[in-house]
Copies of this chain bind each other. A is one copy, B any other.
Amino acid sequence: MTYTTSIGTADATSIQLLGHDLTSELIGQVGFAELAYWLVALRRPTPGELRVFESVLVALADHGLTPSVIAARLTLTGAPESVQGALAAGLLGGGSRYLGVTEDCGAFLVDALAGLESPPATEAEWDDLARRAIVERRASGRYVPGLGHPLHKDGDPRTPVLFAIAEEAGYLGPHLTLFAAIGRVHPEILGRTLPLNGAGVCGAALCDLGLPVQILRGFALLARTAGLLGHIAEEMRRPIGQDIYDQVDRAAVYEP
């Protein structure tokens, strides 16, 4: 029995990562985000790809005192000796409802682009493709991912910045282009205008970088790991977990 891997192996005198010698070829020569991209895509990103990728990670790193962050802080309240437990608890909230949007939006765009003989050539053709994608999605009884945000009702501030960076870097590809078209045409079909949200644009941008759609949630989790570490370090310095517990507990009312 052998277990094949292209990620990493180690022996007494060397550590291999991605087929390269870790110490002579990678440490000090590859950035951390660059390595994360490489580990999943199995190829080193171009400078333009890396610029978009780091921008997406920064965009997704934190969004204030979210359910994930509160869960991580309360876990540290009960188990202050276990940073890994607090971090894991925070990541476990990264499921279908929040981080899922990044992945759902990516999958939706990938599906809509699949099977085209050639990509649309004009904005009007992109808009037609977007209309077909929205109509089909709704026909299957599902909502269109990447539209709307509970807080940023009049526009998610991350969206234009990420489009601009992708364009500058030369990676505004078919997924972002289709996502922009969805932003233009959805009001005529849905009957109301919703903003393109940041999680959705991140999903589209990661697809334009050639990353596999089934792992997109993983990048959102990596980004969030940095944000959670910031909150965990703050909880150690200036805790709020106990106060949150007290406030919730005091407001508890028994009702059958």
Contacts and interface: CB of A to CB of B under 8 A. Distances in A.
Interface of A: 1-17, 19, 22-24, 26-28, 30-33, 35-36, 39-40, 42, 51, 54-55, 57-59, 61-68, 70-72, 74-75, 77-89, 91-99, 151-155, 157-158, 160-162, 165, 212, 214-215, 217-219, 221-223, 225-227, 229-234, 236, 238, 240-241, 243-245, 247-249, 251-256
A206 B212 CA distance: 33
Contact of A22 (B14, B96, B158, B215): B158
A158 B255 CA distance: 23
Given A6-B254, A229-B219, A255-B4, A151 B11 contact: yes
B249 A64 contact: yes
Copies of this chain, whole number: 4
Contacts of A6: 234, 254-256
A35 to B, nearest CB: 5
B13 A152 contact: yes
A202 to B, nearest CB: 11
A75 B92 contact: yes
A8 B62 contact: yes
A30 B236 CA distance: 25
Which A-B residue pairs are the 10 nearest by beta carbons?
A79-B95, A39-B230, A78-B93, A88-B88, A67-B74, A36-B226, A4-B255, A32-B57, A85-B92, A8-B62
Given A40-B230, A70-B71, A84-B95, 16 more contacts: A2-B252, A3-B243, A5-B64, A7-B64, A8-B64, A17-B62, A22-B157, A39-B61, A39-B62, A67-B75, A67-B78, A80-B95, A82-B84, A84-B92, A88-B91, A91-B91
B78 A229 contact: no
Q: Which of A10, A151, A244 has the most chain B CB atoms closer than 10 A to its own CB?
A: A10
Contacts of A22: 58-59, 157-158
